[in-house]
Structure 1
């Protein structure tokens, strides 16, 4: 057999199978970056799980959170790759149906969900604690993009008004939980899409003002929001225990870190396996690996935006920009909170923090980005 003959398990450029077409059209660099983040998340979960379990009465298995994370991780990879196989029309339809289903789940959460720390954000579904707002975010970004794009291409279609109505419904339900962080996130995504769609800046201004009013009302009416903002503004307020421990972790880690599993601050840091997983990375893996993590997030976002430079579909441009903005903002908010750059906010670090809903929802969103940024051409044309 000639040395140039492809093996049975390889993909060639003339392979017209579903997987063959996918392999030569998907952005493999972005896929590699996402898988690298998932791998780092698995390592950090092994390091953070024992300390988190020790603070929770009734849990005896030191690797309880790590084991649950490893159950969801293969499902997240399969979901991301499965969605990346879809065509654009299927992604769009799935987003609309998913948004409708997420809104129903939000209503059910408000009616029957479990209250934790003064917020009702989770509902038990067949033994699985589901956070509907996590799944709502990617569906929201894609649906809003469809409304804006259709409104621009068809003057008779009230896309902007429908999009504003969707935003108001979603923001209202999130504030009723209450979940200020997710509300700010979807507001920022909508503003980015409005700007890119070339719509009047008054719409962006309206959303910005609504977000500002919501933030002020949250500060005045929600005690935990008041405490977090006061703790950030006043270093002597006494509400800075978590952030002080987080900063201690980064100080202990230094340049090279204490080594995987060797950190000590995580034993005093609440939510070290979820909201403050970046602090665990800082102590155990050090500054260099933290910069690698930041670099991976930046690479994925910038790579995705680069794929959109020559995009001719306004819908694809708006949908991917919204999903990438959501991904970037969530990562930025988490890391900035851990470093005391902004007030603390309970938001997961994409693909690194513990949380089944978050992991699956992020895989869903990035799977849609991979699907919509695949090269589109008649198969057989030169790549």
Structure 2
């Protein structure tokens, strides 16, 4: 290998030049855009494969077809991808206009869940609305996106007044408290934790003094403890995660089976589709505990690959927030990133047995349209923000029309890509 010597007498190999080139690539205008897009598409694709694998036994038992669950997930993905594309083309002004109507609709949905005959309880949480047949909606998932839009809009409008406590806290904190209170009435501990993380991210990146977070952390902790204390099944979940084998045939069953799945996966896994835990041993294998099936079938390598994809998504999200000169973009990007990061960590922590089981899905990977669509809409927002980074528009213009636009031009819609 050729070696050069700089003016200080130290040697520098070509490998150092390669590292420098890779570091420079991270400063390119479209780095954030491609990180978000690639990570999202890979996680969604992996999710479809793993939902098929994890649900195949249950699907065949209930419907006679191994594809019944994954077909529904594929429908949600086919809706989510165009939704993400649409939000990636929307302007900041449009997002801000949607903030107040979105919050109003979310509050109505959360209140409707509590009405007799409208709301439906699943696994101890009253957080679903049934529309007949297989169609159901979980308003608390959409409330996460509504809180992001509302909080970022309100704080951006008050940017010059945020040195006053009254403007910093009102109306964001009371409105967020209302959303969280309605979710708490439904008994959804996992969503409560994620909503608190979104609120904290909005306040932190708006410049709230650090002393506030000590008080707020104590208050949030008290809320979580209240949710745990008021429901015996939730208390059993919290205590059983410390030693799931002590209550193996009761509340510790799910945690123990998750550990069995991860342990049997080893380094490279037992093979795609070869899970033993999905044969009726691990509850919620294709939803909340799909990460355990990933660890079992794809091993430590597969589990770490999923973790790396989420890490890339988080890095890109905070990079978008840091590079923006628009306070709304900074706050919204930070809150979306905190939302996905906290939800992924809480889910994976429960699967690994280091956190209590809270019943929230792994973003983009677990089965379920109510959780998938708001996340994909939020990631479309991140793509929209990434397209507005310094130099990004020029880089996109130099790249030429994308495959969708070329296909539309070929079909006769719009200009030909050659002109």
CA distance in 1, matches of 2:73, 2:179: 28
Tell me the secondary structure at the aligned position of residue 388 of structure 2.
coil
Task: Decide whether aligned partners of structure 1 residues 341 and 376 sit closer, same or farther in structure 2, where only a CA change above 3 A counts.
Answer: closer
What are the ranges of 5 or more consecutive residues in structure 1 without an aligned counterpart? 1-22
The structure number with the bigger radius of gyration is 2
**Alignment pair present for 1:176 and 2:185:** yes
Indicate if the aligned counterparts of 1:181 and 1:347 stay in contact, CA closer than 8 A.
Answer: yes
Equivalent position to 1:100, from 82, 98, 104: 104
Match of 1:299 in 2: 312
Written as runs of structure 1 = structure 2, the 5 A alignment for 1:41-60 is 41-53=47-59, 58-60=62-64
CA distance in 2, matches of 1:183, 1:312: 31
Match of 1:207 in 2: 216
Task: With the length of structure 2 as denominator, give the TM-score of the two structures.
Answer: 0.80
CA distance in 1, matches of 2:378, 2:228: 30
Indicate if the aligned counterparts of 2:265 and 2:296 stay in contact, CA closer than 8 A.
Answer: yes
CA distance in 2, matches of 1:291, 1:69: 24
CA displacement at 1:328 relative to structure 2: 0.6
Equivalent position to 1:79, from 83, 99, 110: 83
Match of 2:147 in 1: 140
Q: Deviations over 1:352-375 (max 9, x none)?
A: 100010111111111112112322
Match of 1:13 in 2: none
Tell me the secondary structure at the aligned position of residue 121 of structure 2.
strand
CA displacement at 1:251 relative to structure 2: 1.4
CA distance in 2, matches of 1:211, 1:314: 26
What are the ranges of 5 or more consecutive residues in structure 2 without an aligned counterpart? 1-28, 397-419
Indicate if the aligned counterparts of 1:102 and 1:133 stay in contact, CA closer than 8 A.
Answer: yes
Tell me the secondary structure at the aligned position of residue 53 of structure 2.
helix
Q: Deviations over 1:233-282 (max 9, x none)?
A: 34413421111111111111111111111111121111001000001111
Indicate if the aligned counterparts of 1:351 and 1:362 stay in contact, CA closer than 8 A.
Answer: yes
Equivalent position to 2:303, from 285, 290, 295: 290
Written as runs of structure 1 = structure 2, the 5 A alignment for 1:186-335 is 186-235=195-244, 236-238=246-248, 239-267=251-279, 268-335=281-348
Task: With the length of structure 1 as denominator, give the TM-score of the two structures.
Answer: 0.88
Moved more, 350-359 or 44-53: 44-53
Q: Deviations over 1:56-78 (max 9, x none)?
A: xx533222211100111111111
Q: Deviations over 1:301-346 (max 9, x none)?
A: 1022123333211221111100000001111111111000111120
Task: Decide whether aligned partners of structure 1 residues 216 and 380 sit closer, same or farther in structure 2, where only a CA change above 3 A counts.
Answer: closer
Note the aligned Cα RMSD (angstroms): 2.3
Q: Deviations over 1:49-98 (max 9, x none)?
A: 1223356xx53322221110011111111111111100001012223322
Task: Decide whether aligned partners of structure 1 residues 131 and 261 sit closer, same or farther in structure 2, where only a CA change above 3 A counts.
Answer: same
Match of 2:114 in 1: 110
Q: Deviations over 1:269-302 (max 9, x none)?
A: 1100100000111111111111111000000110
Indicate if the aligned counterparts of 1:189 and 1:325 stay in contact, CA closer than 8 A.
Answer: yes
Match of 1:360 in 2: 373
Moved more, 125-134 or 63-72: 125-134
Indicate if the aligned counterparts of 1:106 and 1:173 stay in contact, CA closer than 8 A.
Answer: yes
Q: Provide the aligned length of Structure 1 versus Structure 2.
A: 359
CA distance in 1, matches of 2:140, 2:33: 28
Task: Decide whether aligned partners of structure 1 residues 382 and 259 sit closer, same or farther in structure 2, where only a CA change above 3 A counts.
Answer: closer
Match of 1:12 in 2: none
Tell me the secondary structure at the aligned position of residue 105 of structure 2.
helix
Match of 1:65 in 2: 69
Tell me the secondary structure at the aligned position of residue 126 of structure 2.
strand
Tell me the secondary structure at the aligned position of residue 270 of structure 1.
coil
CA distance in 2, matches of 1:323, 1:232: 28
Tell me the secondary structure at the aligned position of residue 127 of structure 2.
strand
Indicate if the aligned counterparts of 1:52 and 1:272 stay in contact, CA closer than 8 A.
Answer: no
Task: Decide whether aligned partners of structure 1 residues 382 and 361 sit closer, same or farther in structure 2, where only a CA change above 3 A counts.
Answer: closer
CA distance in 2, matches of 1:219, 1:378: 49
CA displacement at 1:378 relative to structure 2: 9.4
**Alignment pair present for 1:35 and 2:61:** no
Moved more, 210-219 or 23-32: 23-32
